[in-house]
Amino acid sequence: MHEDDDPEYHISTAEQLARLDRRAAAEAVRTIAVDDGIDPGYRISAAEQLARLDRSAAAEAFRDIAVDDGIDPGYRISAAEQLPELDPRAAAEAFRAIAVDDGIDPGHRISAAEQLAELDPGAAAEAFHVKACRRRDGPTS
């Protein structure tokens, strides 16, 4: 892989750029964090760095990763777990999206629902209700 295409190279470069121009560094890292064509691990690393430069942009990036049902659930949970200190409302949205996602294993859904309950008990109750109704009525298409 050419270094121009290497997310790790861009993250490292942005770390150095942050010493000179925080705004430019934040934009460079945000570009990686929101690029759904990049490995989710690099996106999370970029969002973590972005949190030191622009908390609002980092929250948006973590939320985008967490609600993306095309990403491995482990990455989604990891991204969602970064959100409570940045944006509790985005965290609740992310955990709810994971909790009701029938495409992932129950362990991840339960973990998300438990964390959602700490942030928004009403949303957690709704998520559990949705799951119970789906279980009772069968899958919906």
- Integer angstrom CA distances of residue 14 from 47, 120, 139: 12, 35, 46
Other C-beta atoms lying within 10 Å of the C-beta of residue 111: 18
Determine the Cα–Cα distance for residues 79 and 103; give it in Å rounded to an integer.
18
The band of 79, judged by pLDDT with boundaries at 50, 70 and 90, is: very high
Mean model confidence pLDDT for the chain: 85
Pair 73, 105: CB distance under 8 Å: yes
pLDDT at 141 over 50: no
- What is the SS3 assignment for 32? helix
Of 11-15, 44-48, 69-73, which range is least confident?
11-15
Give the per-residue pLDDT at 3.
Answer: 52
